[in-house]
Structure 1
Amino acid sequence: MKRIAWGITGSGDLIRETYEILVDIKKQTNIEIMVFLSKEGETVMKWYRMWDDIQRDFPNFKTDAGPNSPFIAGPLQVGHYDMLLVAPATANSVAKIVHGIADTLVTNVVAQTAKGDTPIYILPVDQVRGTVKTYAPSGREMDLKMREVDVKNSEALKEMENITVLKDPDEIYNILGLKK
């Protein structure tokens, strides 16, 4: 049985799409998905009114109590999980990862996992120059302008060892060899 460790950061952009895909994957396979959330990830799940959903759909979830608590990095390094997925990833988390800052649960897990053989897949939300459409917690469509520094950090992330950058949530199906 495959095991995925799924890290959620504080991004509202792409959270619903990513969440629906992981729920679908859980329903159509026997893949075990362990979810862990940064403090900001927890805030966003509550803001988007998805907190009850995550507790129902992924009862084996963990929340950030510090950069190494709960202890997830070790099991990822030794291959207990088949992959690490961080999706969606905020510009802040991406910047920290790119610059070697491991001061949150998610950024520390990425830093430590990169030292082993477990593949890492990250979906940064700030990848495209210009304006992107996203949705507010109310469901209202809105435009966000991407900052150049954030796009450059996403580009730098593509050059890092043992990290594959995903362009959109649908690619999660592809990396698992599944059809949408």
Structure 2
Amino acid sequence: MVKKNRIAWGITGSGDLIKETYNTMVDIKSKSDIETMVFLSKEGETVMKWYQMWDSIQKDFPNYKTENGPNSPFIVGPLQVGHYDALVIAPATSNTVAKIVYGIADTLVTNTVAQTAKGQTPIYMLPVDQKRGSLKSYAPGGRELELKMREIDVSNTEKLAQMENIHILKSSEELYDILGVQK
């Protein structure tokens, strides 16, 4: 695996896997010199606030960016020309996955993926709906929830895995290997 020096990390509006992903990314930051540019969809910002992680992201990733429109802030250009070694979208909601699968690029995250896929920068995504059946998740206060995956959402994740230049992560733990960082 080639060592990554600079990545762009997009956060969507998923509460599921957000704490695990966030903790992984903070740990990676503490163990490496990888420059991480964080950008959040409008709903990503909402979820970070809902899960009481908004202050943490401002402290841990002070140069974060929030969505003003599908191409604002302008992230696509630097991704297409190789300024970043990888694009990470984690976690990715079923809505984000469906839009990408069907070519809809009307948000900062979906547009960034659509345009980055046209270049050479690899895209790593962690969809929350990967397996048929139920899974455990947690509400903002820590209460355990059981969520049943919808067939259409799992099917869209399978279609996403077939798309050019998109690599599906099974868990946030895979980011250590992808980014060349020891756990």
Q: What's the TM-score bracket when you normalise by the shorter of the two chains?
A: over 0.9
Question: Residue 172 of structure 2 is aligned with which of 143, 149, 169?
Answer: 169
Q: In the TM superposition, what is the alpha-carbon distance from 1:177 to its structure 2 partner?
A: 2.2
Q: Is the 8 A contact 2:11 2:92 kept in 1?
A: yes
Question: Residue 44 of structure 1 is aligned with which of 40, 43, 47?
Answer: 47
One-letter amino acid of the counterpart of residue 98, structure 1: V
Q: Secondary structure at the match of 2:137?
A: strand
1:91-139 deviations in Å (ceiling 9; x for gaps) = 0000000000000000000000000000000000000100000100001
Write the mapping of 1:20-169 to structure 2, written as runs, cut at 5 A.
20-169=23-172
Write the mapping of 1:12-27 to structure 2, written as runs, cut at 5 A.
12-27=15-30
Which stretches in structure 1 are left out of the alignment for 5+ residues? none
Identity across matched positions, percent: 73
Q: Is the 8 A contact 2:31 2:181 kept in 1?
A: no
How far apart are the structure 2 equivalents of 1:75 and 1:179? 27
Q: Is the 8 A contact 2:10 2:109 kept in 1?
A: yes
- In structure 2, the partner of 1:9 is 12
TM-score when scaled to structure 2?
0.97
Q: Secondary structure at the match of 1:144?
A: strand
One-letter amino acid of the counterpart of residue 176, structure 1: L
One-letter amino acid of the counterpart of residue 160, structure 1: M
Number of corresponding residues:
180
One-letter amino acid of the counterpart of residue 108, structure 2: L
Q: Secondary structure at the match of 1:142?
A: strand
1:66-93 deviations in Å (ceiling 9; x for gaps) = 0000000000000000000000000000
Q: Is the 8 A contact 2:13 2:41 kept in 1?
A: yes
How far apart are the structure 2 equivalents of 1:140 and 1:32? 34
How far apart are the structure 1 equivalents of 2:5 and 2:181? 13
Give the 4+ runs in structure 1 shifted more than 4 A.
Answer: none
Q: In the TM superposition, what is the alpha-carbon distance from 1:8 to its structure 2 partner?
A: 0.1
